[in-house]
Amino acid sequence: MSPHLILQVVAKLLIPLIVVFGFYVQFHGEYGPGGGFQAGVIIAVAVILYALIFGIDAARRTVPPVVVRFGAALGVLIFAGVGVATLFMNGAGEPLNYLDYDALHPDQGHHTGQHYGIILIEIGVLTTVASVMLAIFYAFAGRVPDIPDEEW
Amino acid sequence: MNHADLTQYLDYLLIAMLLAVGFAIVRLRNLFAVVMLTGVYSLLCAAWFVSLDAVDVAFTEAAVGAGISTVLMLGAMLLTARESEPAGVGRHWAAFVVVAAAGAALFFAIPDMPVYGDPESPANAYVGRDYLEQVPHDISIPNVVTAVLSSYRGFDTLGEVVVVFSAALGVMLLLGFGTGARRREEEED
């Protein structure tokens, strides 16, 4: 039986709640405080908590470093890609502007294009920030052996 | 007694606690306690930002400063000693003069600062007011901070994401991906 049984049970209860809160912060960013940056950090914290309690190897099996590496680049690509997409989606005669979200949807009255654009780039920010935080954590934590029991 | 009168005492209390934690961080020799206190410092900062109505900044401070930074500092501490060497007892007069001069200059500048919440202050008067007025017409989302960050200043935010990405790239290039170092150690064992 693990000496950290209570920590493990509590962490198992907390981690799903932390992830759900992260997604709430992500998709509620238009209405309340928060956004992709904070949500990315919160979701990374959920994995880091898992790594602290269950060991870094378990976390590496759950979220492999390869995924983290690709995620960091993918987020930047999503963000920059939305900008490139807006360059090509503008109608004839309209000015071509990088990251001009109004081009994403024809409904100008309700600013639907702006909403689409903000949601899309926030997903990019979330992907990059969560991956980068995990990558840095993996890079640091991978250099030390797991915390010995007497140091808990 | 109006609203501002009550909350300013909360601000004083938080600033006093920040000072106390700051002195404790300087005085302590146990690095584990120092790392934990830096987390406490960030959390107090976040509470203070909430009191100043800067909820988005407070959120970021709580998540990054108190959350991720503390974990990374703990990871760094595991690589080094648990106690720091006692500092020398010598007095560094040159350093004291620099700090005292900088502090005096800051106090000298205080009267030029705008009053807290002043609508005519430079931060609120020009482009800030434009954003507050234009967001309902341009973007129509309730959180002006998100609107400014994502839409008006979308290009800046793209730059920030690239900066975050480069940070990870730098750490990966310097420290590896966290898998190589340990595998080599195991082979050496």
Structural domain boundaries in chain B: 1-82, 110-142, 153-189
Q: Report whether A137 contacts A119 (CB < 8 A).
A: no
Q: Do A65 and B141 touch (CB under 8 A)?
A: no
- Pick from B75, B145, B154: which is nearest to A140 by CB? B75
Q: Which of A72, A73, A118 sits opposite B150 (nearest CB)?
A: A118
When pLDDT is averaged across residues B14-31 and rounded to a whole number, the result is 92
**What's the rounded mean pLDDT across residues A130-149?**
79
Residue B139 and residue A114: Cβ atoms within 8 Å? Answer: yes
Q: Do B75 and A141 touch (CB under 8 A)?
A: yes
Choice among B27-31, B40-44, B103-107 with the minimum mean pLDDT: B27-31
Q: What is the percent of chain B with per-residue pLDDT over 70, rounded to a whole number?
A: 89
- Tell whether the model's pLDDT for residue B1 goes beyond 60: no
- Strand ranges inside chain A, DSSP E: none
Rounded to the nearest integer, the mean pLDDT of chain A is 85
Distance (Å) of CA B105 to CA A2, B15, B23, B75, B177? 57, 20, 22, 38, 45
Would you call B79 and A143 a contact, using CB atoms and an 8 Å cutoff? yes
- B50 residue type, one letter: V
Instruction: Using alpha carbons, select from A20, A7, A6 the residue that is nearest to residue A49.
Output: A7
**pLDDT surpassing 80 at residue B163:** yes
pLDDT tens sequence across B101-160 = 999 999 999 888 888 778 888 877 888 888 888 888 888 888 888 888 888 888 999 999
- In angstroms, the CA A41 to CA A22 distance is 8
Beta bridge partners of B83: B30
The reply to whether residue B168 touches residue A131, judged by beta carbons under 8 angstroms, is: yes
Closest CB to A99: pick one of B67, B154, B167.
B154
Q: Where residue A44 falls among pLDDT bands split at 50, 70, 90?
A: very high
Structure confidence at residue B188 as a pLDDT band (50, 70, 90): low
- How much is the pLDDT for A144? 65
Residue of A nearest to B148 (CA): A118
Average confidence (pLDDT) over B57-78? 86
Measured between CA atoms, the residue of chain B closest to residue A120 is B150
Q: How confident is the model at residue A147 (pLDDT cuts 50, 70, 90)?
A: low
User: Could you give the C-alpha distances from B176 to B35, B46, B169, B180, in angstroms and in order?
Assistant: 24, 33, 10, 6
Q: Is there a contact between A135 and B158 if contact means CB atoms under 8 Å apart?
A: no
The reported pTM is 0.83
Mutate to test the interface with B, among A98, A128, A133 (most CBs of B within 10 A): A133
pLDDT of residue A145: 62
How many domains is chain A partitioned into structurally?
1
The closest CB to that of B181, out of A32, A121, A142, belongs to: A142
Confidence of residue A103 (pLDDT cuts 50, 70, 90): confident
pLDDT at A81 over 80: yes
Q: What is the mean pLDDT of residues A9-33?
A: 90
Interface A-B, measured as beta-carbon pairs within 8 A, has a size of 160
pLDDT band at A12 (very low <50, low <70, confident <90, very high): very high
Range of the domain at A70: 5-151
Please say if the pLDDT value at position B165 is more than 90: yes
